[in-house]
Every structure is written in structure tokens, then in C-alpha cells.
Structure 1
Amino acid sequence: MPIAVETFFLDPAYEGTLQQQIQQMVAGGILSGRFRPGEKLPSSRKLAQHLGVSRITVTLAYNELMADDYLSSAGRSGYFVSENAPEPPQISPRSSSDTVDWSRAIGHRFSGNLQIEKPLDWRTYKYPFLYGQVDPALFDRQNWRLCAIRALGQRDFDSLTADQVDRDDPQLLEFVARNTLPRRGILANPDEILITVGAQNALWLAAQVLLTQRRTAAHEDPCYPGLRTILHQSRCHRIEVPVDADGLPPHLIPPETDVVFCTPSHQCPTASTMPISRRKELLRRASEDDFLIVEDDYEFEMSFLKPPSPALKSLDDDGRVIYVGSFSKSLFPGLRLGYLVGPKPFIREARALRSAVLRHPPGHMQRTAAYFLSLGHYDALVRRLRNAFHDRRRIMDNAMAEHGLTVAGAGAFGGSSYWMRAPDGVDTTELADRLRAKSVLIEPGAAFCKGGFREYKHYRLAYSSIGAGQISPGVALIAAEIAAMQN
């Protein structure tokens, strides 16, 4: 890799000759590790022009460095850092002289919240029962690549390069409005939709727009850890409502609540499904007590056992429901594309806030996704995922029944995970650590729960990232480890 000429500049306070200063710049770059063996230096002519010195000065400096084996030359190809150049010294970092008291300087703390741990090298594990990761055997890489290349073309130059300020890709908005939302019974105009950087960003925008330190938010327990973090950082009053087999019980929501956050279709993480009667009761309570609802419908595409229930938003006649959708589970989590659907006044404020923080999601990713969706590749992928997940769920059911594992919650319409309960005396955080050493990955329940007894009892098993052939032996290892911990 060539070393940029802009890397070099003269120090007016340097007391030696120009030749010595150039030698010191090059040698210093090599000794510090910034310039590596084999990298090409700027030509003597280019460096001389850049520094405003004579070419002979640079040539003499380079020759001295060659004599000391810092540089080498290859005929007319130029000068390179020598393969025999002195190696950078192994010097321990010097202690910081920072005198700032950061415990006082930091006004708001955002770290320290318990989150789900997903190893970056999870694919190297033989039995990854991890939720939300993409299975390379199922993803349509070829058509995604073709859509990405098409989005790089001259016709889409503006969507790729322009600063759209606070606007979204019109093709992606059109697909969401005309195809995605109607499948959930939702009708919305483009100015009632906002593209977000995933569902996490959508939830954050909703919390920032709707909540203040004087307002109260109610949410499920257990719940998505990212939501708990978002609400904690908003510094609103929080009320955790314990879920049951049908999800969030409306009668437990206090009347002073301002906003309710819930996952009616696939409760996170228990996978319970809220019945229609309870959805209507929740909407009735919202109208009577004058609160809003943020519905996170993160996994509706993964319904393969039977058609999913209508979205809460589709039953809302008062405009009280803010709808959150995402392409992370049906496409891939690294895409970071989601969307908010709500009344125009809410979307207007969420758009302004998003613009102040990150302007808009990358145009190339929006246009690539728009092509992938509109050309039919997305529907084909979803069908393939549903078929694969249906087979894997059947294998999971049989394996867990054979080995006596206890299912605490499973999606009525499908989904991609189970909420499990370990026997008394088994700490699932310790269980996860022990299984990891045997190339098995599970998700302990501590990150999802408020705390107390339950966090040691529950864990999540997903079948979205593990091949069908690995499920039964992986479940056998989990059962064996649980049995060993009971003895």
C-alpha cells in the first residue's frame, strides 16, 4: 500500500538540515510502526513538490535511509520500506497523565446495563442456539449482491451519494406502505412512515419523542434488554408489568401510565402471543386511561404454523398505536433497517430528531433493500426461511421431548426461538458458560429479566442460526449438562 504524501510535513522549529528532517520523518514512521515493510514511499519528485524543497534533498535523504537499510529500491518502481528495516520497539504504553475526574465529568452514564452476549465468532461453534443471526445456508447472497450492484449504477447515483437531509428512499417507503404493512392489516401513507436504523433506533426515537422525566412508561417483564436500557436512559418513570401465557395483562397497567411498550405477536423473550380479546382490551384501556402504545412487531414474517393475529395497530381506531417493524430477522441483523409507523405529528417529530442525530440511514442500503424487496427476492427468502424454521422447530420439539427439557414459552404462530425453564438448582448463566466450553451457545435469561429468582431459571434457545442436523445432538448436550449440574 502506498504511503500518502500528505503524511509528511516539515517542522519550522526543527534545528537540523532539511535532509536530516526528511530522514527523521521516514525513520520515525518506520520505528513507530506507521510505515510497514513493503509499503511504497512517495517519489522523490512528488515529495519534493509537496514539501517545497529541491528534489536532490529528498533523493539524498532516501539514499541515506537505503544505506542504513530502512529503505530499498526496485529499479524504476520507486522506494519501499525495506523488509530488513528495524522493527518497532516493543514499548509498554506509558501511563496516562489524564487529570480529569471522569466520575464527575460524565453527566449521563450509558454503560453497565446487562445485555445479551453474542460471540463474534459464533459460527465457529458447532451448536449455536443463538437468536437473530443470519444462517448463510438460507440467505440469498447472489440476488442481494445483484441488487447492491444495481443500486451502485448511474440511475441510482443520487440515492447513493446525495445528502437526503431527513428524507427516506421513496422506493423503500412505497414497498413498506403497499406490501409490508397491508400484510399486517395496516394502511399508511408515506408521510406516516419513517425508515430507521433498525428496531432499536425506532424504539429510541419513540421513547425520546413521547417520554419526559415526568412521564411514565410501562413495559413487559421479561422484555427485550435494549428497550429496558432505552427507557432507563430516558429517565422516565418505569413500571415493569409481569407477562403471563398470553403476554401483557392490560389490567395490570397502572392508570397513570403515559406510554406502553409491548410485543403482542411474539413476546420477547417468552414468545407468547396476545389473543385478539386481550388486544382489544389493551386498546380499550388505552382509550379510557389516555395512554399511547408502542407495538414492536419484530418477527411477524416468521409465522409458519398458522396465519398471525392482526397487528395491534390494525385494530386501532384512535391513532394511539405507534408501530415498529424491522427487516433484521427476515433479512439480516447487519442491515440495520427498520421503520416506524404512526400519526403524522409523531412521525414529523421523530423525523426531525433522527435528522439531528444521523440525518438518514445510508442511501445505498435503502435502495439495495428496495430492489431486493420489490423484485420478489424478499418474498422468496421469507418462504424459504419459514419452511426451514418449520422443519427445525419440529426437530426441536422432538429432541426436547426426548431429553425432558422444559419449554416455558413458544410462539403460537411460529417464530424462531423457545423460552426455556431449567430445573431448580440450575443457574442458567453458569449453564451457558459450561456449554460454551462444549461448543454449545445458549442465551441465559438474566439480561431479559428485572432480577430475582427467575433470571437464574430461564434461558432462550433459537433455531434460526443452527442447521437441522445439529439440533438433536446439541439438545442432548444441553440436557446432559443440566443433569450434571443437578448431581
Structure 2
Amino acid sequence: MAIISEHHVFLSEDANVGLQTRLKDAITRAIWDGRFAAGDRLPATRALARHLGISRITVSLAYDSLLATGYIVSVARSGYFVASDAPTRIEGVAPLGAALVDHVDWQARLGPMPAALGAQANPPDWRRYKYPFIFGEPDVSRFPVDDWRDCVRRALGKRHFEQIAFDARDRDDPFLLEQIVRRSVSGRGVAAAVDEVLVTAGAQNALWLMVQVLFPKRRGVVAMEDPGYPEMRNLLRFHGLTIHPIPVDREGMKVAEIPDGVDAVFTTPSHQAPTGATMSMARRKALLERAEQDDFVVIEDDYDYEMAYASPALPALKSLDQRGRVAYVGSFSKSIFPGLRLGYLNADPRVIDQARAIRTLNERHPPGLTQKTVAYFLSEGHYNSHSRRMRMRMARRNEVLREALARHGLTPALKRATGGTTLWLRGPVDMIDTEVVTALREKSVLVEAGSAFYAGPDAPRNRLRLGFATIETALIADGVALIAEAIAELG
């Protein structure tokens, strides 16, 4: 039950209709629209009359009329409440006091809908599936909630409250910037200064900002991996850019196939999205050499670098960059939890200044409380401890998943993975991934169709991506058995 404020009641300005009728119609319409819900308490007659500048008897008469028609009920010494069986929508009639008018042709004004979330997006009800082999959702049962709660308390302490409560304009939390420089990018071999870092609302926001910075006129030529991150491709398409899909293999993006004339290259070298391949050192050096030779910039999405467990992680492209050509995108949304929506951009100070100016046009800065909390989570060592525990857990799940697949004769595309939380599965030649996905949902198994990650309609149809960050280790073998069964049944 909510208490409806008198400030939420609005009278029409139709002078041809009496005040009592206008007030009754205003409350009726609010109930129809769902703004006033069953059980909500209406304003007291005196307070509403004073707010609207009308007599109290007018309000009382309007309430009496609503009582008579069953829209509200009266409770002795408590007031008036929206009835539990009051209508919540208009059925076949126009709004009271309003003439029938044509609606704005929004379709003509808006144009085509941008492709926001691709076919690989997890269904909203993924939690009801017993075997969720999906990517991007956390294992919340293992998250150090008590440590996080302590960091929130410290962020809300008196010494910080003024800072997080006031408008920071276009500035980021200096404590968080310091921690990102000292404890995040430094772990990737990057020597950065605080003026080279911008805090963003996750990696996706950082990628969006880089597109705005590089292509303000919505013209340009870019290259990205194929298969690759669908939301990145959708973003580039939405901005009207020409995209060259570059194939990948077990060493990552095939740098030699990047055509001449590109302005930027988008890549995920640590764990290629979606195959999980790690770009070799030779390819990393070749990419930077091509960037210098052909004068393009590189946007490095290092979304899952913390999950390097099978071998020491290779240094970030940004750490090898001597000419400021690499813009590095990091994220805490995967390593802490996705609902956090916090990431960062590390690039040349001039790029950061430009991105900061663009950021102020739509969000000014990420929430101060979130920034301060993450800063403490990093500084107190909770982030590194949590990441270490997750690496050990993901290494074990990766091993269990590969063993289960081998027992059923299923072959991962990569014989050995350096890390990550997904596995790229190559099925039989005649397999159709979307049919397998649909069939498995009937068995309470969620997997991702590989074709959703390719740029063109001729994408291979015998690929699946299996995530293992969310599914319990003990359920992996049974889930794989169901996957193998569905593939065999549809073969």
C-alpha cells in the first residue's frame, strides 16, 4: 500500500466541466492507468482541497461519487482507499473529457529499431533452468557479500558522504582512479596515469564512447573479429560504419586479413569473444605493427582477463603499445557482478578528455556511491581474493566440462584454453545450432547458438557456446549428457 500525495492529483483545465467532475475524472483516470493501485490511500480531503485551491466540500462530494461507483472505499478513522476491485483500464471508451485524436506516427519519425541485444542474449527467466550453460551471469552464491557490505558502509561514512552526495560534474572518484591505475591495469602490464583513465557504466559504455570519439560524423571503416561480440557489431552498424569481419583461429584474430584503409580495429585478445582463443604474442606484435604502418587505432576489450588460469596471462596489447594507438577497455561487471555496471577506459589523455566531454551529454558520471564502494573493494584486497577464488573454481569447471564432452565424443574447438568462462563447441557437420538450442530448452538446458556471433547469413551452424560461470560443477556432467543426447536426436 502506498500513500498518494496530493501533488499527484491533477485537474484538467476544461472550464466547461465542473470542479467536482474534473476531480472525480482525474482520480478515475489515475486508477485506470494504474498510477493509483488497489489499496493505495488517497489524500485527506483538507490537504487535497488546499493543494488544488478548491473547497473541501467539493473534494468530499467527488469522493462520495467515487464511493458510490465502487472506485474507492472508506475505512473509519483511516481515510479513503482505492478499492481492490476498481477497474484498471479503459474498456472500449475514450478517456473522460478527451476528444478522439490521431496518435503521432512514431514509426515514421523513429525509423528502424536498433539491434540492441542479439540472439545470444540470455532469456529473462534463465534462473528456472536446471542446467544454465550461459555467459555473463555471476555465481552469486560465492560472492563475498559481507566484504561488499563493509565497503558500502565505509563509502557511506561521514568523511565521504559529502563527496558522493554532491554533483561531481564530469569528474570521477579520485580514489577509484588511483585503485584502477595501481591494482587493475597494472596487473595487465600497463603503466597508466590517472588522467589516462575514465570510469564508465560498464565495458559497453566504454565501447560506445570510443565509437563517438572516433566517428563523430558517423562515417568510417572498421574491422572486428568474426565470430565476434554481437553488441559491438550492432553498435558499429547503428553508427553507419563499414565493417570488415576478420576471421579468427586458435591464435585469435587473423591480422594478415585486415584490409587496407581501416580506421580502427576492435578486438578481444585475452579471451576472444566467443571462441575463447587467446591472441598469440606474435599476432599481438603484428597487429601493433599494422596499426603503425596503416595508421589505424586499436580498441582492446579485455572483458574477462582475470580468468586466466591455465597459463600465465599474456600482457595486454596496451602494455605493448609505444605510440598511444591502443584504447584499453576494462570492466568490473563480469569480475564483481554484472548489475554493477562499472568499467573504465584507458587511453591517451586527449582521448579521455574527449570521451569525458561526450559522457557528460548523457550521464555526467557513474554513481558516486558505486565508485567509492568499488574503490574500497579494490584497496582492501577483496577484489583480488575474489578473483583468485573464481579462477580456481573456473579452472575446475573447465576441466569437468571438457572431460564430460570427451566422454560423449564432443570436441571443443580449442584443445586447450588459457582461461575464460566459456567453451566453444564444434558439433557434427550436419548439426543446426538453433534446433539444438530449442530442443535443449525443453530439457531445462540453456546453451548459446554459435551462429548468432557471426556477421553474415552464411555462418556455420554447428557451433555452440557453453558458459560455465553459473552452472554448479556437480551439474555439468548431467547437462552435457543432455546436450549430447539432443545433438544425436537431431542428427
Q: Is the 8 A contact 2:32 2:90 kept in 1?
A: no
The letter for the 2-side match of 1:277 is A
Query: Per-residue deviation at 1:393?
Result: 1.2
Say which SS state the counterpart of residue 238 (structure 1) adopts.
Answer: strand
What residue in structure 1 maps to residue 283 of structure 2? 278
What residue in structure 1 maps to residue 161 of structure 2? 157
Go from structure 1 to structure 2 and tell me whether the alpha carbon gap of 1:164 and 1:92 turns closer, same or farther (over 3 Å shift): farther
The letter for the 1-side match of 2:476 is I
Q: Is the 8 A contact 1:410 1:419 kept in 2?
A: no
What residue in structure 2 maps to residue 91 of structure 1? 91
Query: Per-residue deviation at 1:157?
Result: 2.3
What residue in structure 1 maps to residue 476 of structure 2? 471
Show structure 1 runs of 5+ residues with no match: none
What residue in structure 1 maps to residue 97 of structure 2? none
TM-score, length basis structure 2:
0.92
Go from structure 1 to structure 2 and tell me whether the alpha carbon gap of 1:32 and 1:394 turns closer, same or farther (over 3 Å shift): closer
Query: Per-residue deviation at 1:187?
Result: 0.7
- Higher alpha-carbon deviation: 440-449 or 36-45: 36-45
Go from structure 1 to structure 2 and tell me whether the alpha carbon gap of 1:17 and 1:351 turns closer, same or farther (over 3 Å shift): closer
Query: Per-residue deviation at 1:18?
Result: 4.0
Query: Per-residue deviation at 1:61?
Result: 3.9
What residue in structure 2 maps to residue 62 of structure 1? 63
Q: Is the 8 A contact 2:412 2:423 kept in 1?
A: yes
Query: Per-residue deviation at 1:459?
Result: 1.2
Say which SS state the counterpart of residue 59 (structure 1) adopts.
Answer: helix
What residue in structure 2 maps to residue 36 of structure 1? 37
Go from structure 1 to structure 2 and tell me whether the alpha carbon gap of 1:421 and 1:48 turns closer, same or farther (over 3 Å shift): same
Residue in structure 2 matching 1:444, options 446, 449, 459: 449
Q: How far apart in 1 are the matches of 2:79 and 2:113?
A: 52
- Higher alpha-carbon deviation: 471-480 or 198-207: 198-207
Q: Is the 8 A contact 2:116 2:234 kept in 1?
A: no
Go from structure 1 to structure 2 and tell me whether the alpha carbon gap of 1:483 and 1:42 turns closer, same or farther (over 3 Å shift): same
Say which SS state the counterpart of residue 282 (structure 2) adopts.
Answer: helix
Q: Provide the identity percentage.
A: 45
Aligned residue runs from structure 1 range 173-188, under 5 A: 173-188=177-192
Aligned residue runs from structure 1 range 71-470, under 5 A: 71-83=72-84, 86-88=86-88, 91=91, 97-98=102-103, 100=105, 102-103=107-108, 105-106=109-110, 110-111=114-115, 114-211=118-215, 213-409=218-414, 412-470=417-475
Go from structure 1 to structure 2 and tell me whether the alpha carbon gap of 1:35 and 1:281 turns closer, same or farther (over 3 Å shift): closer
Q: How far apart in 1 are the matches of 2:17 and 2:260?
A: 78
Query: Per-residue deviation at 1:25?
Result: 3.8
Q: How far apart in 2 are the matches of 1:8 and 1:36?
A: 14
The letter for the 1-side match of 2:87 is E
Go from structure 1 to structure 2 and tell me whether the alpha carbon gap of 1:92 and 1:198 turns closer, same or farther (over 3 Å shift): farther
Cα deviation per residue 1:371-414 (whole Å; 9 max; x = unaligned)?
Answer: 22222221121112111111111111110111111111366321
Q: How far apart in 2 are the matches of 1:411 and 1:210?
A: 36
Say which SS state the counterpart of residue 180 (structure 2) adopts.
Answer: helix
Q: How far apart in 2 are the matches of 1:395 and 1:73?
A: 63
Say which SS state the counterpart of residue 252 (structure 2) adopts.
Answer: coil
Cα deviation per residue 1:343-362 (whole Å; 9 max; x = unaligned)?
Answer: 11111111111112221112
What residue in structure 1 maps to residue 53 of structure 2? 52
Query: Per-residue deviation at 1:21?
Result: 4.2
Q: Is the 8 A contact 1:265 1:272 kept in 2?
A: yes
Say which SS state the counterpart of residue 360 (structure 2) adopts.
Answer: helix
Go from structure 1 to structure 2 and tell me whether the alpha carbon gap of 1:6 and 1:405 turns closer, same or farther (over 3 Å shift): same
Query: Per-residue deviation at 1:329?
Result: 1.6
TM-score, length basis structure 1:
0.92
Q: How far apart in 1 are the matches of 2:182 and 2:4?
A: 51
Q: How far apart in 2 are the matches of 1:8 and 1:223?
A: 51
Go from structure 1 to structure 2 and tell me whether the alpha carbon gap of 1:115 and 1:69 turns closer, same or farther (over 3 Å shift): closer
Query: Per-residue deviation at 1:60?
Result: 4.2
Q: How far apart in 2 are the matches of 1:56 and 1:440?
A: 63
Q: How far apart in 2 are the matches of 1:441 and 1:108?
A: 30
Q: How far apart in 2 are the matches of 1:159 and 1:170?
A: 11
Go from structure 1 to structure 2 and tell me whether the alpha carbon gap of 1:199 and 1:73 turns closer, same or farther (over 3 Å shift): same
Q: Is the 8 A contact 1:270 1:410 kept in 2?
A: no
Alignment length, in residue pairs? 484
The letter for the 2-side match of 1:419 is W
Q: How far apart in 2 are the matches of 1:349 and 1:196?
A: 13
Query: Per-residue deviation at 1:73?
Result: 3.3
